[in-house]
Chain A
Amino acid sequence: MSTSTSPYAPGEHPDEKPPIGQSGLVNWVYTNLFSSPFNIILTLVTAYFLYKILPPMFNWMFFDAVYVADSREHCRELNSGACWGFIGKRIGQFTYGFYPHELRWRVNLTFLLFIVAVLPVLWDNMPKRRLMLWFSALFPFIGFWLLSGGLGLETVETNKWGGFMLTMVIGVTGIAVSLPLGILLALGRQSDLHIIRWVCTGFIEFIRGVPLITLLFVASTMLNYFLPPGSNFDLLLRVLIMVVLFSAAYLAEVVRGGLQAIPKGQVEAADAMGLKYWQSMRLVVLPQALKISIPGIVNTFIGLFKDSTLVVIIGLLDPLGIGRASLSDTKWQGLSTEVYVFIALFFFICCFGMSRYSIYLEKKLHTGHSEE
């Protein structure tokens, strides 16, 4: 027996409760909200503003809102809050644009297949991932065929596409195509081959020096004049090309930042092992460079997704455009707040989802280069 005063054997000391006043709700409130005079003031001011803002907001959004109505007048008769009946009546338009009613299942199917295709790409523990990735590679063609028709399906021209569907098409295509293109551009900019380097640098600098809206205008108006008369080059396709080029240039710079953070020794080690250029890039440099670039890449994606609303300026009817056309109906005129809140919700869900996924990815790939 030892002479220690401790009643416990070594290593057997249980976790004691913290002293009174050092834990629990009261302590949390005290340390986080009222720990200093400045904090007290901030807390009170914030509480006051929340008190002023939240109850009217919730009343407007939920408690006084009208969920089923036939017109704005009808809404106003029923209650004073938001008129969600408007969104309800037009949800089809907001989702599909002018896509023919009886063919909307094709959009739904494309969306389902999209989820199936994107899962194996995002989640590497998926069962049968290798097989599924083949489907992912094929999906762009299947999706395009389902949406636009041809080969046995009724053709739906792209001027009938609109709403969230259009946003998703622009966003997903932009993201999926611009990432590989951006990586190639970033590698090209670092290349030892002068001409490739000059072309890539010139392209990146040119695109980055021009606002997206200018490129969209070029797509919608100027390109018509460069093409031979009578050739009808689809407007959406032109817009997609511009969006892809634009975001590829930005991605190239983000990826270049990642590439430059990789110590030269890594490339030299790869060389020493006899790896060729593409092998060393694919196996050694890019996995590390892309990992550190994730926040920047996702940032660019989110920006691209939100920028897709700019197409409304050249007359494509994304959700904002649909909202505008719908608000011009005298039955519903004046309900713009509802429309904008609804569209904001959609964008928030998409962008927040992307952001959370990027955090998950960063955590998963965290292999100890930086301390948390």
Chain B
Amino acid sequence: MSKLTKLAAGAAVAALFAANTSTAGTLDDVKAAGHVKCGISTGVPGFAFTDDGGAWQGFDPAVCKAVAAAIFGDTSKVKYTTTTGKTRFTALASGEVDMLARNTTWTFSRDTDLKLDFVGVNYYDGQGFMIPSELGVESAKDLDGASVCIQTGTTTELNLADFFRTNGISYEAVPIETNDEARTNYVAGRCDVYTTDASGLAATRSSLEDPAAHVLMPEIISKEPLGPLVRHGDSEWADIVRWTLNAMITAEELGVNSGNVDKMATGTDNPEINRLLGSEGDLGAMIGLDKAWAWRAIKMVGNYGEVFEQYIGADTPIGLDRGLNALWTQGGILYSPPFR
């Protein structure tokens, strides 16, 4: 593992010296290539997976699709590149992909030192704990002496150490490499507790034989704002990705969804909807697209709420609540700047 860590560090250093490889106009490059090059993860339940037909689906690829819909009006015009936690940033910095949409936490050093631009947050996550309910533990602070399955080399490992130190309790780490390995170990009882991002815990729990026999602890011990990102140096391109995401969030706020967007696009009494969908003003021209860019993204992919419910919402096996990811008007912190 240490070799990999060193290597990743080396790659990050290299990224420092070579981050200005991006060309002047990513949008022009994308239009010339005829597709958006999108970096996604190699598989996170609900967030990125292949369907039976072999197409990428999930909460993260939906962002790529929305961008492709906004630019080309065709969600299939995405070239997916699978990236791992170790290759994702170099793939972006070197221009192998135009954007990343793969469960990446927005942190200070990634935004600045690695010369990347997070364009927003599409999922507010946080690290949690899952335990079998038969243990009868009510709070993570009662986990003194527990054995904990933890993915090595991630921020979750550091968060875990911090949390237990702050609370003056001890734990025994059971290092694992992948989510699947964690699930196997947890089921076999080799660890009492599994800790990772709460969305991942929910997904893992849904795959257990008896999901009801496992509980998530109320404590969320870290902030993990996950969002799409682009590389430094092309703010116009960053704007397109940022405002595509914002358009999906705003659409939900304004009650625009893939079902009624056609009707709304003909003109409504709400000027913001009109501006968003292009029946009033020409916001698209300001980012180098046409008037109907947001209409296409919403029509073809859906608004934020629709995408959430489709892939990870309460009716899916993953069954995540909106929680923090509800709109600001509904008790969450999802808030898009106005379309004006």
Contacts and interface: CB of A to CB of B under 8 A. Distances in A.
Contacts of A176: none
Contacts of B269: none
B207 A333 contact: yes
Interface size class of B (residues with CB under 8 A): 35 or more
Contact of A89 (B11, B21, B52, B81): B52
Contacts of A322: 50
Given A325-B43, A330-B316, A333-B317, A315 B87 contact: yes
Contacts of A314: 84, 86-87
Most A C-beta atoms less than 10 A away, residue of B7, B47, B183: B7
A205 interface: no
A93 B180 contact: no
Interface string B1-16: 0011001001100100
Interface string B179-222: 01001100000000000000000010011100000000000000
Contacts of B11: 217, 221-222
B308 to A, nearest CB: 14
A328 B44 contact: yes
B54 A313 contact: no
Given A92-B54, A229-B23, A315-B87, A224 B79 contact: no
A211 interface: yes
Interface stretch (B63-71, B88-96, B123-131, B283-291): B88-96
A92 B54 CA distance: 8
B48 A229 contact: no
A321 B56 CA distance: 13
Contacts, number: 132
Most A C-beta atoms less than 10 A away, residue of B18, B83, B90, B94: B94
A230 B32 CA distance: 14
Nearest to A334: B207
A354 interface: no
B318 A330 contact: yes
Given A211-B3, A315-B84, A330 B42 contact: no
B50 A159 contact: no
Nearest to A100: B54
Given A225-B14, A313-B84, A329-B49, A324 B180 contact: yes
B332 to A, nearest CB: 23
Contacts of A313: 84, 86
A294 interface: no
Given A235-B96, A313-B84, A327-B180, A224 B50 contact: no
Contact of B208 (A98, A217, A334): A334
B46 A330 contact: yes
Given A211-B3, A315-B87, A324-B180, A159 B79 contact: yes
Contacts of A235: 96
Given A159-B80, A333-B45, 14 more contacts: A89-B52, A93-B54, A101-B54, A220-B87, A221-B94, A224-B94, A230-B95, A313-B84, A324-B43, A326-B50, A328-B49, A330-B318, A331-B317, A336-B180
